[in-house]
Amino acid sequence: MSGVRSILTKLFFALLVLALLFVVYLDARITSTFTEKMWELPAKVYARPLDLFSGARLSAEDMAYELELLGYRKVSTLRQPGQFSLYRNKLEVYTRGFSFPGEREPSRRVLLEFGAERIARLSAAGKALDLMRLDPLQIGGIYPQHGEDRLLVQLQDVPLSMRDGLKAVEDREFETHWGFSVTGIARAALSNLRSGQVVAGGSTITQQLVKNYYLTPERTIVRKVRELVMAVLLEIHYDKDQILESYINEVYLGQEGPRAIHGFALAARHYFDTPLEQLGLHQQALLIGMVKGPSLYNPLRNPKRAKQRRDVVLEVMAEQGVISQEHAVIAREMPLGLNSRPQLRRSYPAFLDLVRRQLRREYREEDLATQGLSIFTTFDPLLQRRAEQSTTSVMEQIDSAGELETATVVTRLDTGEVAALIGGRKPRYAGFNRALDARRPAGSLLKPAIFLAALELPQRYTLASTLSDTPFTMELSGGQSWEPRNFDRQAHGDVLLYSALANSYNLATARLGLELGLDTVAQTLRRLGVSEGISNVPALTLGAGEYSPMAMAAMYQTIAVGGYRMPLRSIRNVANPQGENLSRYLTEYDRTANLQATYLLQFALQEVVRQGTGRSVYRYLPQTFTVAGKTGTTNDGRDSWFAGFSGDLVAVTWIGRDDNGSTGLTGSSGALRIWANFMATASRQPLDYRPPDRIELHTIDTTNGYLTGEGCPNSRMLPFFAGSQPDQRTACAAQERPVNLSDWFRKLFRGER
């Protein structure tokens, strides 16, 4: 008998030791990970904030659109943050405020008066404002692999009625228990039995938090014991406020596709498009009621059931003294007040794809998905809207069957910031990002690199140099040959250099590129920012290779800013949850092309849209609005390209088929139409074409490139490197009256419009 007692004693102590080790293990797990889990937040990706100041180029319509994107509600009388009113040319907004890195933009009522597509006056409380910024639009997030998303909120920012209502419904003894409540379990069972529905749960808030943080949803005795032990340990190590705050930020409240909605703050935004602190009682009760069954009581899918649950919660809150019976009656009469606008309005998958790729160069995916970083980007919702409208409108006109695809990249000329991005014909749907990944021959879009390389040799080439646009055959290795042809299948004889580019003559361009050397052409492309797909073959002179729209945007960005290569960027800065900047991405400049030669090239690209293959641009733009650009068409019309720039924007558009079949389009009949339609609505500044130092203007005869008198037959003004003008001169002296009154460059130079 004593032997049995001894064995049982040893077994008891062994089990006790194992239990203690188990408790020690659970305790270590809680203390080492609880704080980390409290802050496991996905990165939030924001658009650029809209800067408001007197004189800013912004219409009342655009301002109202941006506010609607941000979730502001249009009302007749402002009563709280998140509202605006619009009457004729006056817009009043009650801003929410926002904490930017290093500064706080306060919540305030602001009056904007508009005139001539500009802000005429900006004021608050009757006093003029110099500058303010709206809270930026959150355009997406970077979530962990399990897809959980949450918006962190501090306990003091949660309405008191919501805190007390949550405890009244979920855990009435929260302030006094040690993690679990025997009486709470019994009371919940009795309440549910009486009401005939689930009014309260048996698990405490602490137990629910433990289950969400550490355990699986399986229902076993072992899991329940572990939950109870960990709940007690959590209560020992952390105070009630920390536990309640963590629960409010963690509780699961629904699903949006693969994205799991966690926490009341994010749920308030998702279901009501309203900050948590601004929710009404009826909305607070709805979210509290969803805790028991986020799918069952989802108001978007089951509004009737959700309202019934909400009303039950309001009744409990009144019974427990959280709110008055009068307030409960009023709240029960309120509609659900759900966000009626689809979440897709904030879906910009192509741009978010670009942001992710640029972030991965410096940050681990784990950090992006858990550290609660704020990513402030260069994305402009107003420019994106115009790019989408232009894309949709033109694509429907040229291809109603939906067989063609497209992509557009828009950058800001002065900074190289990517402001808008179209990754496909349906811009709001994720999928193959053609702006970054569709690599196709660029056709004549590469030709400016060849002409730039020539113009950087002013002793050999000028805009008035004569090129031969005549057929030739080049023998290649393996018994093959290359015989380029012009698009119109015609040869044009001797043509001036600027005209060869303006009219996109293949024979003249190929001859010029081969004279310069393929290595020179390839190196010039690299200097302009093209780092991919360059094919060092004779057909490179006519666009052979594989290039994405983003690569072409980098090239034309360099040309647009006078030969300064600047990496295209989508991110301005990255901040931690405390608002401290971790990274700032400033504009970088690196001169890689001669300023004067680039200026001459810009002239030729303006000639493309004035007299050459891109002249249909001015069916969309006013004649006085100066832009520059280049068409591109590949063999058999497989790819339609247009790239160009104004005084404030650079844009590249591509149209093609995913199966690489023929589109039946040229650069001018396809991509140009999207580009020009966009520029006509989005660009606010024409190209400012001011000659740099060492540039002189001379009048030449366009038939032979000789100097001639102004106003003589076939005369026009061209820019030259100082001293590089032609030696030959015609016999015609300057005339009193110019013959070619349509010479746009003469008008531009003289300041005429």
In the predicted model, is pLDDT for residue 342 greater than 50? Answer: no
Query: Looking at residues 383-399, what average pLDDT do you find?
Result: 96
Question: What confidence score (pLDDT) does residue 739 get?
Answer: 45
DSSP category for residue 547: B
Q: Using one digit for the tens of pLDDT, what is the confidence trace for 462-501? A: 999 999 999 999 988 888 899 999 999 999 999 999 999 9
Question: What confidence score (pLDDT) does residue 474 get?
Answer: 92
Query: Looking at residues 573-602, what average pLDDT do you find?
Result: 88
Q: Using one digit for the tens of pLDDT, what is the confidence trace for 101-117? A: 888 999 999 999 999 88
Highest mean pLDDT among 10-14, 21-25, 289-293, 630-634: 630-634
CA proximity to 232, closest of 210, 199, 263, 254: 210
What is the pTM assigned to this prediction?
Answer: 0.79
Per-residue b or e along 659-694, where b marks 16 or more CB atoms closer than 10 Å to that residue's CB? eeeebebbbbbbbbbbbbbbbbebbeebbebeeeee
Q: Using one digit for the tens of pLDDT, what is the confidence trace for 549-559? A: 999 999 999 99
SS3 728: coil
Top-confidence residue, 39 or 228: 228
Cβ neighbors of 194 (< 8 A, separation 6 or more) are none
Q: What's the Cα-to-Cα distance from 541 to each of 335, 441, 505, 534, rounded to whole Å?
A: 66, 11, 11, 11
In the predicted model, is pLDDT for residue 26 greater than 70? Answer: no
DSSP category for residue 412: E
In the predicted model, is pLDDT for residue 562 greater than 70? Answer: yes
CB 235, CB 205: distance < 8 Å: no
Highest mean pLDDT among 101-105, 294-298, 343-347, 682-686: 682-686
CA proximity to 256, closest of 334, 339, 371: 339
- Residue positions annotated with a catalytic role: 170, 444
**Sheet containing 127-128, strands listed edge to edge, beginning at the edge strand earlier in sequence:** 73-74, 83-87, 90-94, 109-115, 118-124, 127-128
Question: What confidence score (pLDDT) does residue 345 get?
Answer: 45
Q: CA 294, 299, 305, 307 torsion: positive or negative?
A: positive
- pLDDT band at residue 435 using 50, 70 and 90 as cut-offs: very high
Q: CA 207, 208, 210, 211 torsion: positive or negative?
A: positive
Top-confidence residue, 735 or 47: 47
Query: Looking at residues 9-37, what average pLDDT do you find?
Result: 53
Q: Which two three-digit tokens encode residue 219?
A: 């229902």
Top-confidence residue, 39 or 317: 317
CATH number of 49-135: 3.30.2060.10
Length of the chain: 753
Cβ neighbors of 294 (< 8 A, separation 6 or more) are 252, 253, 254, 255, 261
Question: What confidence score (pLDDT) does residue 344 get?
Answer: 39
Q: In what helix (H) or strand (E) does residue 465 lie, and over which residues does it extend? A: none
Q: Using one digit for the tens of pLDDT, what is the confidence trace for 507-536? A: 999 999 999 999 999 999 999 999 889 999
Least confident of 111-125, 360-374, 565-579, 593-607: 360-374
Highest mean pLDDT among 138-147, 218-227, 235-244, 426-435: 426-435
Q: For the purposes of burial, counting CB atoms within 10 Å of the CB of 548, is it exposed (0-12), middle (13-18) or buried (19 or more)?
A: buried
Where do the structural domains in the chain lie, given as residue ranges?
2-32, 49-135, 145-342, 418-572+591-682, 695-749
Class of domain 418-572+591-682: alpha beta
Question: What confidence score (pLDDT) does residue 212 get?
Answer: 62
In the predicted model, is pLDDT for residue 29 greater than 70? Answer: no
Least confident of 246-260, 320-334, 715-729: 246-260
In the predicted model, is pLDDT for residue 305 greater than 80? Answer: yes
- pLDDT band at residue 741 using 50, 70 and 90 as cut-offs: very low
In the predicted model, is pLDDT for residue 392 greater than 90? Answer: yes
Q: What is the mean pLDDT of the chain?
A: 85
Query: Looking at residues 428-436, what average pLDDT do you find?
Result: 88
The DSSP bridge pattern shows strands 374-377 and 43-46 to be parallel
Q: Using one digit for the tens of pLDDT, what is the confidence trace for 209-261? A: 666 655 555 555 655 566 666 666 666 666 777 777 877 887 888 887 666 78
Percent of the chain with pLDDT over 90: 51
Q: Using one digit for the tens of pLDDT, what is the confidence trace for 59-88? A: 999 999 999 888 888 898 898 888 999 998
SS3 470: coil
The CATH number, out of the four listed (1.10.3720.10, 3.40.1000.10, 1.10.3810.10, 3.40.50.300), of the domain defined by the range 145-342: 1.10.3810.10
In the predicted model, is pLDDT for residue 333 greater than 90? Answer: no
